[in-house]
């Protein structure tokens, strides 16, 4: 099942247009608030030039890229955490996603109404983030009431859990999101069932117009995971035939589309890497979390593979590419035999041996 990224933001900032551009699906994008009521979901291929190179070597019948699921979530408004603007329903959709891409609008256009009748990306960001914090605060406060009752028995685990909730609550009250608390793996697992929104990774997409360039000082207000994107131009690019897209990008002095950069950045935000399987039947990219061990990576292909894992035959991508074939890589001693503790690297060409 692909990992998902929820596209959020105030109404009319470019969310649905971005979603349409990403998926080439015509989700509603009319110029008024709340036109998107149910979340639209689309599968997006992750651009990876390595797939084509591997396919040129293996000559497979088909090529299968890895994918990310993007969810177009209707515009949030101030007061969403208290139910304003159908907020509770929309917040529940965000909880189901693995990460958040927040779109803020930096361009002026009298023909596109802003819900607050002004253009202030930083203020838009603060409105959305506050609503997400308030939603989490309500969730944690409710669970804390139960946790305090559970502590009356003197159970040590219950007390530790209560203290964790108090720490999170205190930080949320200072508008500090859970993702910034540097929780341990054990603490993160303890609150996993709460599906806290501010624990999810956040990517900011600043929607700009032609020729608009934002200063580094301005961008610093959004943090390291920030992309400037002219969503209108990106939409125009994907509407062209593939050969014309390349010409258009060259005319704009762009090596690749901003959309490709966004998809790759989203992939990295989720802390994902790809390994490959390749042969005459298919060349395929598989998605795993960074630092995944070989048996768990094998489970990405089939869940039974983890239990029956024996060993993995690994060729690094650059070695496979330079050799031009698996046979040549073997002859040169570039195929490694790895066991259960091996951590699969991004770009590894893998063949898993399974005890059936």
Written as tens digits, the pLDDT of the chain (356 aa) is 678 999 998 888 888 889 989 887 444 444 434 444 455 888 888 889 999 999 999 999 999 998 888 988 876 655 544 554 444 556 778 888 999 999 999 988 777 766 667 789 999 999 999 989 998 999 999 999 999 988 888 788 889 999 999 999 999 999 999 999 999 999 999 999 999 999 999 999 999 988 888 899 999 999 889 999 999 989 988 888 888 888 888 887 777 788 888 998 999 899 999 999 999 999 999 999 999 999 999 999 999 999 999 999 999 999 999 999 999 999 999 999 999 999 999 999 999 999 87
Question: From CA 3, how far away is CA 270, in angstroms rounded?
Answer: 8
306 found inside a domain: yes
Q: For 160, list phi and psi in degrees, rounded to 5.
A: -60, -40
Question: From CA 109, how far away is CA 209, in angstroms rounded?
Answer: 9
pLDDT given at position 88: 54
143 found inside a domain: no
DSSP 180: G
Question: From CA 285, how far away is CA 275, in angstroms rounded?
Answer: 6
Question: From CA 260, how far away is CA 288, in angstroms rounded?
Answer: 20
- Written as six digits, the tokens of 33 are 């608030």
For residue 73, how far is the Cα from the chain centroid? 14
Domain that holds residue 312: 291-354
Domain of residue 346, CATH code: 3.10.20.30
pLDDT given at position 257: 85
Total domains present in the chain: 1
- Written as six digits, the tokens of 243 are 């050969």
Query: What does the CA dihedral 204, 209, 213, 216 come to, rounded to 10 degrees?
Result: -10
SS3 141: helix
DSSP 156: H
- The model carries a pTM of 0.84
69 found inside a domain: no
């Amino acid at each position: 099942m692909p990992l998902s990224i929820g596209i959020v933001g105030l109404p009319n900032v470019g969310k649905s247009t971005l979603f349409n551009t990403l998926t080439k699906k015509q989700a509603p994008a009319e110029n008024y608030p709340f036109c998107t009521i149910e979340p639209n979901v689309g599968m997006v291929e992750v651009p990876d030039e390595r797939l084509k190179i591997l396919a040129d070597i293996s000559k497979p019948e088909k090529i299968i890229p890895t994918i990310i699921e993007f969810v177009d979530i209707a515009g949030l408004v101030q007061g969403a955490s208290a139910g304003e603007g159908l907020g509770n329903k929309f917040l529940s959709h965000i909880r189901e996603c693995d990460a958040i891409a927040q779109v803020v609008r930096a361009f002026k256009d009298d023909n596109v109404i802003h819900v607050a009748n002004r253009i202030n990306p930083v203020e838009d960001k603060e409105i959305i983030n506050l609503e997400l914090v308030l939603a989490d605060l309500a969730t944690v406060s409710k669970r804390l009431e139960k946790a305090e009752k559970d502590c009356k028995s003197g159970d040590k685990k219950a007390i530790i859990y209560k203290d964790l909730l108090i720490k999170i609550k205190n930080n949320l009250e200072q508008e500090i999101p859970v993702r910034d608390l540097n929780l341990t793996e054990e603490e993160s697992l303890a609150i996993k069932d709460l599906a806290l929104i501010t624990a999810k990774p956040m990517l900011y997409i600043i929607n700009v117009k032609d020729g608009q360039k934002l200063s580094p000082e301005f961008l610093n207000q959004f943090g390291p995971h920030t992309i400037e994107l002219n969503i209108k131009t990106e939409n125009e690019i994907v509407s062209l035939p593939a050969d014309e897209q390349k010409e258009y990008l060259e005319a704009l002095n762009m090596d690749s589309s901003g959309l490709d950069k966004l998809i790759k950045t989203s992939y990295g935000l989720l802390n994902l890497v790809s390994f490959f399987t390749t042969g005459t039947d298919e060349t395929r990219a598989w998605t795993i979390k960074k630092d995944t061990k070989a048996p768990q990576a094998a489970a990405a292909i089939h869940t039974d593979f983890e239990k029956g894992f024996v060993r993995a035959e690994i060729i690094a991508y650059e070695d496979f590419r330079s050799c031009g074939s698996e046979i040549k890589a073997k002859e040169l001693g570039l195929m490694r035999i790895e066991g259960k503790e091996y951590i699969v690297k991004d770009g590894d060409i893998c063949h898993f041996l399974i005890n059936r």
